[in-house]
């Protein structure tokens, strides 16, 4: 069975998810919805991706720039089974009634409030909960990173509590209007940050508290995480569990010389499309076990970490794969996830 998919919003996440859909044998990218006839629209057009405009006015602007549109949003929604909403946070909720009117399965992003969908989703934690649902929300990049770690260690040893400090990138590389330029911003000043609560939308019973700061970089987020496990472990036990897990890349800083997000991205630029690193990167050297307490540093490439989860979410709502293992093997093989960076 091939599921027909449309992507509404063609920015950082939308363009990556659209490309990933094109790489799946069980999905057909019917089109994308784009508001502005800019360079990204031209690239999509030249790549043969059918473009739809949100309304008549936008369609006219596209035609004036010489970029043909295939139709309007409603036309796209009439010809698909699943819509991936990748519009800015909060905009997806406004589209929800329109998607429902067209009887579509819906996949939303982490910028939406949890109530937008029946399930908040992270493949390694709760794939089965999303099977056959009408609407799923793929949690944010930071939450996806935390959940991959937590659910992997929970399966191996049991996790009883998590404390994390999140060092957030200020903006995506393409965003010229955001900052900070020269500050470390408390995000927010009052603790905890919202990230722990977002993790709980997937793992409601977990004891987790997070704090966050925003720093002047566009490359990646970094987390300092402390987990209390349900049994004593050694750091080698933790390394072994993480190395066996899908979508986690264990990097040895001493051996590779990679001690920063800048060096990680530089390595990815050599061999990855768009220099994407959809894997969660855990720094092996930082993994420190004391009894049942484990501390480590991990890095999250915000632009790409949620892309495989979006593909899995499409499979879950469409019943294309009945287990997390099945969708992970299809998604990861098609996207080259797990291939070494060097």
Residue from 136, 141, 164, 296 carrying the catalytic annotation: 141
Tell me the helix, strand and coil percentages in the chain, rounded to 5. 40, 25, 35
Rounded distance between C-alpha atoms, residue 152 and residue 81, angstroms: 32
Binding mask 167-186 for ligand NAD (x = CB under 6 A): -----x--------------
Q: Residue 180, preceding bond cis, omega within 30 degrees?
A: yes
Nearer to ligand NAD, 110 or 246 (CB): 110
Rounded distance between C-alpha atoms, residue 48 and residue 78, angstroms: 20
Q: How far is the CB of 341 from ligand NAD (least distance, A)?
A: 20
**Are 110 and 274 within 8 A, CB to CB?**
no
The verdict on whether 125 is a catalytic residue reads: no
Nearer to ligand NAD, 36 or 322 (CB): 36
**Are 6 and 73 within 8 A, CB to CB?**
no
Does 140 help bind ligand NAD (rule: CB under 6 A)? yes
Query: Position of tokens 């709760």?
Result: 126
Task: Please give the residues from 258 up to 287 whose contact with ligand NAD meets the rule CB under 6 A.
Answer: none
Sheet-wide strand order for 3-8: 71-72, 51-53, 27-33, 3-8, 82-85, 105-108, 135-138, 119-121
Nearer to ligand NAD, 289 or 300 (CB): 300
Span near ligand NAD by CB under 6 A; candidates 107-115, 241-249, 271-279, 316-324: 107-115
Does 141 help bind ligand NAD (rule: CB under 6 A)? yes
Nearer to ligand NAD, 276 or 303 (CB): 303
Find residue 5's DSSP bridge partners.
29, 82
Span near ligand NAD by CB under 6 A; candidates 33-41, 223-231, 249-257, 284-292: 33-41
Query: Which residue numbers are catalytic?
Result: 141
Q: List residues near ligand NAD by CB under 6 A.
A: 8-14, 33, 35-36, 54, 86-89, 91, 109-112, 140-141, 172, 302-303, 306
């Amino acid at each position: 069975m091939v599921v027909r998919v449309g992507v509404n919003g063609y920015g950082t996440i939308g363009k990556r998810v659209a490309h990933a859909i094109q790489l799946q044998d069980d999905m057909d990218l019917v089109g994308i919805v784009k508001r502005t006839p800019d360079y990204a629209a031209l690239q999509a057009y030249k790549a043969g991706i059918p473009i739809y405009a949100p309304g008549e006015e936008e369609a006219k602007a596209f035609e004036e720039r010489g970029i043909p549109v295939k139709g309007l949003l409603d036309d796209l929604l009439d010809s698909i089974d699943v819509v991936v909403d990748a519009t800015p946070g909060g905009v997806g909720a406004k589209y929800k009634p329109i998607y429902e009117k067209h009887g579509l399965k819906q996949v939303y992003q982490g910028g939406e409030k949890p109530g937008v969908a029946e399930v908040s989703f992270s493949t390694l934690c709760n794939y089965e909960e999303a099977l056959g649902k009408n609407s799923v929300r793929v949690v944010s990049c930071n939450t996806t990173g935390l959940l991959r770690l937590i659910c992997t260690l929970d399966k191996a040893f049991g996790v009883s509590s998590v404390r994390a400090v999140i060092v957030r990138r200020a903006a995506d590389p393409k965003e010229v209007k955001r900052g900070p330029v020269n500050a470390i911003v408390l995000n927010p000043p009052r603790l905890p940050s919202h990230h722990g609560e977002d993790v709980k939308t997937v793992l409601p019973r977990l004891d987790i508290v997070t704090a966050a700061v925003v720093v002047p970089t566009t490359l990646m987020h970094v987390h300092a995480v402390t987990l209390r496990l349900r049994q004593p472990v050694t750091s080698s036990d933790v390394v072994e569990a993480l190395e066996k897990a899908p979508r986690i890349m264990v990097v040895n800083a001493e051996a590779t010389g990679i001690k920063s997000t800048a060096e990680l991205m530089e390595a990815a630029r050599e061999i990855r499309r768009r220099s994407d690193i959809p894997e969660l990167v855990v720094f092996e050297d930082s993994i420190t076990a004391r009894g049942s307490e484990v501390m480590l540093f991990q890095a999250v490439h915000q632009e790409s970490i949620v892309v495989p989860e979006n593909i899995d979410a499409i499979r879950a709502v469409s019943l294309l794969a009945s287990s997390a293992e099945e969708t992970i093997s299809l998604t990861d093989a098609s996207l080259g996830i797990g291939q070494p960076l060097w």
